[in-house]
Structure 1
Amino acid sequence: MPHFGFSQDVFIVLVGRKREVRKIHWGSWEKPCESKDLGGLGFRNLETFNKALLAKQGWRLILKPNSLVARVLKNRYYPASSFMNANKCSLGSMIWNNILWGRGILEVDTRWRIGNGSTVSINIDRWIPRPSTFQIVSPCVFGDSTTVNGLMLPLGGWNVLLLKAFFSENKVEKI
Protein backbone atom coordinates (compact mmCIF):
# COMPACT_ATOMS: atom_id res chain seq x y z
CA MET A 1 0.00 0.00 0.00
CA PRO A 2 1.38 3.45 -0.90
CA HIS A 3 2.27 5.94 1.82
CA PHE A 4 1.81 9.66 1.19
CA GLY A 5 4.04 12.46 2.37
CA PHE A 6 3.76 16.16 1.66
CA SER A 7 6.16 18.96 0.98
CA GLN A 8 5.36 22.50 -0.11
CA ASP A 9 5.88 21.96 -3.81
CA VAL A 10 6.44 18.25 -4.19
CA PHE A 11 4.11 15.35 -3.69
CA ILE A 12 5.93 12.22 -2.63
CA VAL A 13 4.63 8.66 -2.96
CA LEU A 14 6.56 5.99 -1.14
CA VAL A 15 5.89 2.65 -2.77
CA GLY A 16 7.21 -0.82 -2.02
CA ARG A 17 10.34 -2.04 -0.30
CA LYS A 18 13.44 -3.70 -1.59
CA ARG A 19 15.84 -4.93 1.06
CA GLU A 20 14.40 -2.47 3.61
CA VAL A 21 14.95 0.52 1.32
CA ARG A 22 11.91 2.56 0.35
CA LYS A 23 11.50 3.76 -3.19
CA ILE A 24 10.52 7.42 -3.73
CA HIS A 25 8.52 8.46 -6.76
CA TRP A 26 8.48 12.23 -7.23
CA GLY A 27 5.59 14.02 -8.85
CA SER A 28 4.25 17.55 -9.10
CA TRP A 29 1.72 18.94 -6.63
CA GLU A 30 -0.74 19.68 -9.46
CA LYS A 31 -1.48 15.99 -10.04
CA PRO A 32 -3.06 15.26 -6.62
CA CYS A 33 -4.92 18.60 -6.85
CA GLU A 34 -6.70 17.48 -10.00
CA SER A 35 -10.24 16.23 -9.61
CA LYS A 36 -10.76 12.54 -9.07
CA ASP A 37 -12.49 12.34 -12.45
CA LEU A 38 -9.24 13.40 -14.13
CA GLY A 39 -7.09 10.90 -12.23
CA GLY A 40 -6.02 13.11 -9.33
CA LEU A 41 -6.75 12.75 -5.65
CA GLY A 42 -9.09 15.74 -5.38
CA PHE A 43 -6.92 17.70 -2.92
CA ARG A 44 -7.53 21.40 -2.74
CA ASN A 45 -4.89 23.89 -3.76
CA LEU A 46 -4.33 25.34 -0.30
CA GLU A 47 -3.08 28.74 -1.48
CA THR A 48 -6.14 29.29 -3.66
CA PHE A 49 -8.45 28.01 -0.94
CA ASN A 50 -6.83 30.31 1.65
CA LYS A 51 -7.16 33.31 -0.66
CA ALA A 52 -10.85 32.53 -1.19
CA LEU A 53 -11.44 32.38 2.57
CA LEU A 54 -9.66 35.70 3.07
CA ALA A 55 -11.73 37.25 0.27
CA LYS A 56 -14.82 36.02 2.10
CA GLN A 57 -13.69 37.91 5.21
CA GLY A 58 -13.26 41.04 3.10
CA TRP A 59 -16.73 40.52 1.63
CA ARG A 60 -18.12 40.39 5.17
CA LEU A 61 -16.46 43.73 5.93
CA ILE A 62 -18.35 45.18 2.95
CA LEU A 63 -21.72 43.56 3.67
CA LYS A 64 -21.71 44.10 7.44
CA PRO A 65 -19.97 47.44 8.04
CA ASN A 66 -21.56 47.78 11.49
CA SER A 67 -20.17 44.52 12.87
CA LEU A 68 -17.62 44.87 15.64
CA VAL A 69 -14.75 43.52 13.52
CA ALA A 70 -15.60 45.81 10.59
CA ARG A 71 -15.79 48.87 12.83
CA VAL A 72 -12.47 48.08 14.55
CA LEU A 73 -10.65 47.46 11.26
CA LYS A 74 -12.18 50.56 9.65
CA ASN A 75 -11.19 52.74 12.59
CA ARG A 76 -7.64 51.37 12.55
CA TYR A 77 -6.82 50.92 8.85
CA TYR A 78 -9.22 52.88 6.63
CA PRO A 79 -11.05 55.59 8.62
CA ALA A 80 -11.54 57.95 5.67
CA SER A 81 -12.22 55.45 2.86
CA SER A 82 -13.93 52.16 2.07
CA PHE A 83 -12.49 48.67 2.42
CA MET A 84 -12.01 48.38 -1.36
CA ASN A 85 -9.99 51.63 -1.39
CA ALA A 86 -7.96 50.95 1.78
CA ASN A 87 -4.19 51.07 1.41
CA LYS A 88 -1.85 48.38 2.64
CA CYS A 89 -0.20 49.51 5.85
CA SER A 90 3.39 48.57 6.62
CA LEU A 91 2.47 48.58 10.31
CA GLY A 92 -0.69 46.58 9.67
CA SER A 93 -1.31 43.33 11.46
CA MET A 94 -0.76 40.02 9.73
CA ILE A 95 -4.53 39.47 9.66
CA TRP A 96 -5.17 42.83 7.99
CA ASN A 97 -2.46 42.34 5.37
CA ASN A 98 -3.80 38.86 4.58
CA ILE A 99 -7.36 40.15 4.19
CA LEU A 100 -6.01 42.74 1.76
CA TRP A 101 -4.25 39.92 -0.13
CA GLY A 102 -7.64 38.17 -0.47
CA ARG A 103 -9.23 41.44 -1.58
CA GLY A 104 -7.58 40.87 -4.97
CA ILE A 105 -10.33 38.36 -5.81
CA LEU A 106 -13.00 40.92 -4.95
CA GLU A 107 -11.29 43.62 -7.02
CA VAL A 108 -11.38 41.44 -10.12
CA ASP A 109 -14.88 40.04 -9.81
CA THR A 110 -17.07 42.75 -8.25
CA ARG A 111 -18.72 45.95 -9.34
CA TRP A 112 -21.31 48.35 -7.97
CA ARG A 113 -24.98 47.90 -8.64
CA ILE A 114 -26.44 51.40 -8.78
CA GLY A 115 -29.30 52.14 -6.42
CA ASN A 116 -29.55 55.85 -5.72
CA GLY A 117 -25.89 56.36 -6.74
CA SER A 118 -25.00 58.53 -3.75
CA THR A 119 -21.93 56.54 -2.68
CA VAL A 120 -20.50 55.49 -6.06
CA SER A 121 -17.76 57.67 -7.57
CA ILE A 122 -18.03 58.17 -11.33
CA ASN A 123 -14.27 57.99 -11.94
CA ILE A 124 -12.93 55.71 -9.21
CA ASP A 125 -15.50 52.99 -8.58
CA ARG A 126 -16.29 50.02 -10.81
CA TRP A 127 -19.89 50.52 -11.92
CA ILE A 128 -20.18 50.45 -15.73
CA PRO A 129 -21.11 46.98 -17.05
CA ARG A 130 -17.94 46.43 -19.08
CA PRO A 131 -16.49 42.97 -18.69
CA SER A 132 -12.85 44.04 -18.61
CA THR A 133 -12.64 46.95 -16.15
CA PHE A 134 -16.15 48.07 -15.13
CA GLN A 135 -14.69 51.58 -15.02
CA ILE A 136 -14.53 54.64 -17.22
CA VAL A 137 -11.33 54.28 -19.22
CA SER A 138 -11.29 57.51 -21.20
CA PRO A 139 -10.69 60.87 -19.49
CA CYS A 140 -13.73 62.21 -17.75
CA VAL A 141 -14.63 65.78 -16.90
CA PHE A 142 -15.98 64.78 -13.49
CA GLY A 143 -13.92 65.08 -10.32
CA ASP A 144 -13.04 62.04 -8.24
CA SER A 145 -15.60 62.98 -5.59
CA THR A 146 -18.48 63.30 -8.08
CA THR A 147 -21.00 60.54 -7.53
CA VAL A 148 -23.22 58.68 -9.98
CA ASN A 149 -26.42 60.22 -8.58
CA GLY A 150 -25.44 63.42 -10.44
CA LEU A 151 -26.20 61.53 -13.66
CA MET A 152 -29.66 60.48 -12.51
CA LEU A 153 -33.08 62.11 -12.59
CA PRO A 154 -34.59 63.27 -9.25
CA LEU A 155 -37.22 60.50 -9.27
CA GLY A 156 -34.73 57.80 -10.32
CA GLY A 157 -33.57 56.57 -13.71
CA TRP A 158 -30.79 57.93 -15.88
CA ASN A 159 -30.64 61.44 -17.30
CA VAL A 160 -29.96 60.26 -20.86
CA LEU A 161 -29.33 63.79 -22.22
CA LEU A 162 -26.64 64.34 -19.60
CA LEU A 163 -25.11 60.92 -20.25
CA LYS A 164 -24.94 61.62 -24.00
CA ALA A 165 -23.25 64.95 -23.30
CA PHE A 166 -20.38 63.35 -21.37
CA PHE A 167 -20.05 59.76 -22.62
CA SER A 168 -19.77 58.01 -25.95
CA GLU A 169 -22.85 56.30 -27.40
CA ASN A 170 -21.37 52.89 -26.59
CA LYS A 171 -20.93 53.79 -22.90
CA VAL A 172 -24.42 55.31 -22.72
CA GLU A 173 -25.85 52.00 -23.96
CA LYS A 174 -23.94 50.06 -21.32
CA ILE A 175 -24.96 52.43 -18.52
Structure 2
Amino acid sequence: MSVFLLPFEITKDLERSISRFWWNSKTNDNMSIHWMSWDRLSRHKSAGGMGFRDFRDFNLAMHGKQAWRFITNPNSLATRLYKARYFPNNSFMEANIGNNPSFVRRSIWEAKQVISAGMRWKIGSGNAVDIIGQPWLLDDNNPFITSDIRGLKNHKVSALMVDNQREWDEEILRDMFNDRDQQCIRRIRPNVNENDDVMYWGEEATGQYTVRSTDFYKLRRVFGGKSTSIA
Protein backbone atom coordinates (compact mmCIF):
# COMPACT_ATOMS: atom_id res chain seq x y z
CA MET A 1 0.00 0.00 0.00
CA SER A 2 2.97 2.34 0.35
CA VAL A 3 4.07 1.67 -3.24
CA PHE A 4 0.89 1.13 -5.26
CA LEU A 5 -2.51 2.77 -5.11
CA LEU A 6 -4.79 -0.23 -4.78
CA PRO A 7 -7.82 -0.48 -7.07
CA PHE A 8 -10.92 0.91 -5.42
CA GLU A 9 -12.72 -2.45 -5.39
CA ILE A 10 -9.88 -4.15 -3.53
CA THR A 11 -10.01 -1.60 -0.70
CA LYS A 12 -13.78 -2.03 -0.49
CA ASP A 13 -13.39 -5.83 -0.33
CA LEU A 14 -10.98 -5.42 2.58
CA GLU A 15 -13.44 -3.16 4.38
CA ARG A 16 -16.30 -5.59 3.75
CA SER A 17 -14.29 -8.43 5.27
CA ILE A 18 -13.61 -6.40 8.40
CA SER A 19 -17.18 -5.17 8.67
CA ARG A 20 -18.56 -8.71 8.36
CA PHE A 21 -16.34 -9.77 11.26
CA TRP A 22 -17.79 -7.05 13.48
CA TRP A 23 -21.38 -7.25 12.28
CA ASN A 24 -21.91 -11.02 12.10
CA SER A 25 -22.88 -12.72 15.33
CA LYS A 26 -23.57 -16.03 13.55
CA THR A 27 -22.15 -17.89 10.59
CA ASN A 28 -25.33 -17.28 8.60
CA ASP A 29 -24.91 -13.91 6.90
CA ASN A 30 -28.67 -13.47 6.69
CA MET A 31 -28.88 -13.43 10.48
CA SER A 32 -26.37 -10.62 11.01
CA ILE A 33 -27.46 -7.26 12.40
CA HIS A 34 -25.74 -4.08 11.26
CA TRP A 35 -25.86 -2.17 14.52
CA MET A 36 -23.94 0.73 13.06
CA SER A 37 -22.96 1.76 9.52
CA TRP A 38 -19.38 1.28 8.36
CA ASP A 39 -19.07 5.02 7.79
CA ARG A 40 -19.89 5.54 11.48
CA LEU A 41 -17.53 2.77 12.61
CA SER A 42 -14.68 4.28 10.63
CA ARG A 43 -14.97 7.66 12.33
CA HIS A 44 -12.41 8.67 14.91
CA LYS A 45 -13.22 7.62 18.46
CA SER A 46 -13.50 11.26 19.49
CA ALA A 47 -16.28 11.61 16.89
CA GLY A 48 -18.26 8.62 18.19
CA GLY A 49 -16.80 5.92 15.97
CA MET A 50 -14.52 2.94 16.47
CA GLY A 51 -11.52 4.47 14.73
CA PHE A 52 -11.32 1.98 11.84
CA ARG A 53 -9.39 3.39 8.96
CA ASP A 54 -10.83 3.99 5.56
CA PHE A 55 -8.46 1.86 3.47
CA ARG A 56 -8.57 4.18 0.48
CA ASP A 57 -7.68 7.21 2.58
CA PHE A 58 -4.98 5.21 4.37
CA ASN A 59 -3.53 4.15 1.01
CA LEU A 60 -3.44 7.79 -0.14
CA ALA A 61 -1.85 8.90 3.13
CA MET A 62 0.95 6.37 2.68
CA HIS A 63 1.61 7.70 -0.82
CA GLY A 64 1.62 11.18 0.67
CA LYS A 65 4.70 10.12 2.63
CA GLN A 66 6.47 9.22 -0.62
CA ALA A 67 5.45 12.53 -2.16
CA TRP A 68 6.66 14.38 0.94
CA ARG A 69 10.09 12.79 0.51
CA PHE A 70 10.23 14.11 -3.07
CA ILE A 71 9.53 17.61 -1.77
CA THR A 72 11.79 17.66 1.29
CA ASN A 73 14.69 15.49 0.04
CA PRO A 74 15.54 16.92 -3.40
CA ASN A 75 19.01 15.39 -3.39
CA SER A 76 17.97 11.79 -2.77
CA LEU A 77 18.52 9.30 -5.59
CA ALA A 78 14.80 8.53 -5.95
CA THR A 79 13.87 12.22 -6.16
CA ARG A 80 16.55 12.94 -8.75
CA LEU A 81 15.44 9.99 -10.90
CA TYR A 82 11.76 10.97 -10.77
CA LYS A 83 12.55 14.63 -11.37
CA ALA A 84 14.66 13.85 -14.42
CA ARG A 85 11.88 11.67 -15.82
CA TYR A 86 8.67 13.47 -14.87
CA PHE A 87 9.27 17.06 -13.71
CA PRO A 88 12.70 18.29 -14.88
CA ASN A 89 11.68 21.94 -15.17
CA ASN A 90 9.56 22.44 -12.06
CA SER A 91 8.70 20.95 -8.68
CA PHE A 92 6.68 17.86 -7.79
CA MET A 93 3.69 19.97 -6.73
CA GLU A 94 3.75 22.06 -9.91
CA ALA A 95 4.21 19.18 -12.36
CA ASN A 96 1.54 17.40 -14.34
CA ILE A 97 1.39 13.63 -14.36
CA GLY A 98 3.64 13.49 -17.45
CA ASN A 99 3.74 11.32 -20.54
CA ASN A 100 3.35 7.55 -20.20
CA PRO A 101 3.83 7.50 -16.42
CA SER A 102 4.54 4.30 -14.56
CA PHE A 103 1.93 2.90 -12.20
CA VAL A 104 4.07 3.93 -9.21
CA ARG A 105 4.31 7.48 -10.59
CA ARG A 106 0.53 7.66 -11.05
CA SER A 107 0.00 6.30 -7.56
CA ILE A 108 2.22 8.92 -5.91
CA TRP A 109 0.81 11.68 -8.09
CA GLU A 110 -2.65 10.96 -6.66
CA ALA A 111 -1.34 12.08 -3.26
CA LYS A 112 -0.71 15.68 -4.38
CA GLN A 113 -4.01 16.83 -2.90
CA VAL A 114 -3.20 15.05 0.35
CA ILE A 115 0.04 17.02 0.61
CA SER A 116 -1.68 20.28 -0.36
CA ALA A 117 -4.05 19.90 2.59
CA GLY A 118 -1.28 20.06 5.20
CA MET A 119 1.90 21.52 3.70
CA ARG A 120 2.98 24.99 4.87
CA TRP A 121 5.90 27.38 4.36
CA LYS A 122 7.86 28.95 7.21
CA ILE A 123 9.16 32.27 5.92
CA GLY A 124 12.84 33.08 6.21
CA SER A 125 14.17 35.25 3.38
CA GLY A 126 10.98 34.80 1.34
CA ASN A 127 13.00 34.15 -1.83
CA ALA A 128 11.66 30.62 -2.40
CA VAL A 129 7.93 31.20 -1.88
CA ASP A 130 5.51 32.65 -4.41
CA ILE A 131 3.10 35.23 -3.03
CA ILE A 132 0.21 33.78 -5.03
CA GLY A 133 -0.68 30.10 -5.03
CA GLN A 134 1.49 28.80 -2.18
CA PRO A 135 0.45 28.09 1.45
CA TRP A 136 2.42 30.51 3.62
CA LEU A 137 -0.19 32.42 5.66
CA LEU A 138 -0.88 31.51 9.30
CA ASP A 139 -4.44 30.36 8.71
CA ASP A 140 -5.36 26.69 9.18
CA ASN A 141 -8.52 27.00 7.09
CA ASN A 142 -6.99 28.85 4.16
CA PRO A 143 -3.23 29.54 4.11
CA PHE A 144 -3.38 31.16 0.64
CA ILE A 145 -3.59 34.80 -0.42
CA THR A 146 -7.19 35.66 -1.32
CA SER A 147 -6.64 39.15 -2.76
CA ASP A 148 -7.08 39.37 -6.53
CA ILE A 149 -3.65 40.75 -7.46
CA ARG A 150 -2.54 39.67 -10.91
CA GLY A 151 0.47 41.99 -10.78
CA LEU A 152 2.06 39.90 -8.03
CA LYS A 153 1.85 36.61 -9.87
CA ASN A 154 5.25 34.85 -9.97
CA HIS A 155 6.66 37.34 -7.46
CA LYS A 156 8.26 36.08 -4.26
CA VAL A 157 7.30 36.88 -0.68
CA SER A 158 10.59 38.76 -0.28
CA ALA A 159 9.12 41.47 -2.53
CA LEU A 160 6.76 42.37 0.33
CA MET A 161 9.62 43.15 2.72
CA VAL A 162 11.61 46.32 3.23
CA ASP A 163 14.87 46.14 1.30
CA ASN A 164 17.61 44.27 3.19
CA GLN A 165 15.36 43.85 6.21
CA ARG A 166 13.10 41.11 7.57
CA GLU A 167 10.16 43.47 8.04
CA TRP A 168 6.99 43.84 6.03
CA ASP A 169 6.57 46.92 3.87
CA GLU A 170 3.38 48.39 5.34
CA GLU A 171 2.76 50.59 2.31
CA ILE A 172 2.73 47.58 -0.02
CA LEU A 173 0.45 45.61 2.32
CA ARG A 174 -2.10 48.42 2.53
CA ASP A 175 -2.07 49.09 -1.22
CA MET A 176 -2.16 45.50 -2.49
CA PHE A 177 -4.06 43.26 -0.06
CA ASN A 178 -7.49 43.02 1.48
CA ASP A 179 -7.92 43.33 5.26
CA ARG A 180 -7.88 39.57 5.88
CA ASP A 181 -4.63 39.04 4.00
CA GLN A 182 -2.99 42.02 5.70
CA GLN A 183 -3.80 40.63 9.14
CA CYS A 184 -2.49 37.18 8.22
CA ILE A 185 0.76 38.58 6.81
CA ARG A 186 1.41 40.81 9.83
CA ARG A 187 1.12 37.79 12.14
CA ILE A 188 4.12 36.23 10.39
CA ARG A 189 7.55 37.05 11.83
CA PRO A 190 10.19 36.20 9.20
CA ASN A 191 12.98 34.17 10.75
CA VAL A 192 15.99 36.51 10.97
CA ASN A 193 18.32 33.58 11.71
CA GLU A 194 17.44 31.59 8.60
CA ASN A 195 18.19 32.55 5.00
CA ASP A 196 16.09 29.72 3.58
CA ASP A 197 12.34 29.27 3.60
CA VAL A 198 11.37 25.94 5.14
CA MET A 199 8.60 23.57 4.12
CA TYR A 200 6.84 21.89 7.04
CA TRP A 201 3.83 19.67 7.70
CA GLY A 202 1.20 21.67 9.55
CA GLU A 203 -0.55 18.63 11.07
CA GLU A 204 2.45 17.54 13.14
CA ALA A 205 4.28 19.44 15.90
CA THR A 206 7.64 18.27 14.53
CA GLY A 207 6.81 19.65 11.08
CA GLN A 208 7.47 16.24 9.49
CA TYR A 209 4.83 14.34 7.55
CA THR A 210 3.55 11.18 9.20
CA VAL A 211 0.79 8.85 8.10
CA ARG A 212 -0.51 8.82 11.67
CA SER A 213 -0.98 12.58 11.72
CA THR A 214 -2.92 12.69 8.47
CA ASP A 215 -6.57 13.59 9.04
CA PHE A 216 -8.44 11.01 6.95
CA TYR A 217 -11.71 12.91 7.32
CA LYS A 218 -10.02 15.97 5.93
CA LEU A 219 -9.00 13.86 2.94
CA ARG A 220 -12.64 13.06 2.29
CA ARG A 221 -13.40 16.78 2.21
CA VAL A 222 -10.44 17.38 -0.12
CA PHE A 223 -11.80 14.84 -2.59
CA GLY A 224 -15.39 16.02 -2.22
CA GLY A 225 -16.44 12.96 -0.24
CA LYS A 226 -15.37 10.62 -3.04
CA SER A 227 -12.25 8.53 -3.27
CA THR A 228 -10.21 8.53 -6.43
CA SER A 229 -9.44 5.25 -8.13
CA ILE A 230 -6.96 3.64 -10.44
CA ALA A 231 -8.37 0.54 -12.07
Code of the aligned partner of 1:161: E
Q: Distance in 2 between matches of 1:173 and 1:31?
A: 39
Q: Distance in 2 between matches of 1:34 and 1:141?
A: 41
Code of the aligned partner of 1:164: R
Partner of 2:53: 44
The DSSP-based 3-state class of the residue aligned with 2:126 is: coil
1:142 to 151, 166, 180: 151
The structure with more radius of gyration: 1
Code of the aligned partner of 1:163: L
The DSSP-based 3-state class of the residue aligned with 1:112 is: strand
Q: Distance in 1 between matches of 2:179 and 2:52?
A: 48
Q: Distance in 2 between matches of 1:120 and 1:36?
A: 38
2:97 to 88, 101, 121: 88
Map 1:20-99 → 2, pairs under 5 A: 22-24=27-29, 25=32, 27=34, 29-30=38-39, 33=42, 40=50, 43-89=52-98, 91-99=100-108
Q: Distance in 2 between matches of 1:39 and 1:65?
A: 39
Q: Runs of 5+ in structure 1 lacking a partner?
A: 1-5, 17-21
| Structure 1 runs (4+) greater than 4 angstroms displaced | 13-16, 26-40
The DSSP-based 3-state class of the residue aligned with 2:28 is: strand
1:169 to 179, 195, 204: 179
Q: Which moved more, 1:58-67 or 1:90-99?
A: 90-99
Q: Distance in 1 between matches of 2:43 and 2:79?
A: 36
Code of the aligned partner of 1:61: F
Q: Runs of 5+ in structure 2 lacking a partner?
A: 1-11, 186-231
Scaled by the length of structure 2, the TM-score of the pair is 0.60
CA contact (8 A) 1:12 1:26 kept: no
Which protein has the bigger strand share? 1
Shift of 1:90: 5.1
CA contact (8 A) 1:89 1:97 kept: no
Equivalent residue pairs, number: 164
Shift of 1:140: 0.5
Scaled by the length of structure 1, the TM-score of the pair is 0.77
**Which one scores higher on RCO, CA 8 angstroms, separation ≥ 6?**
2
The DSSP-based 3-state class of the residue aligned with 1:12 is: helix
Partner of 2:195: none
What RMSD over aligned residues (CA atoms) do the two structures have, in Å?
2.8
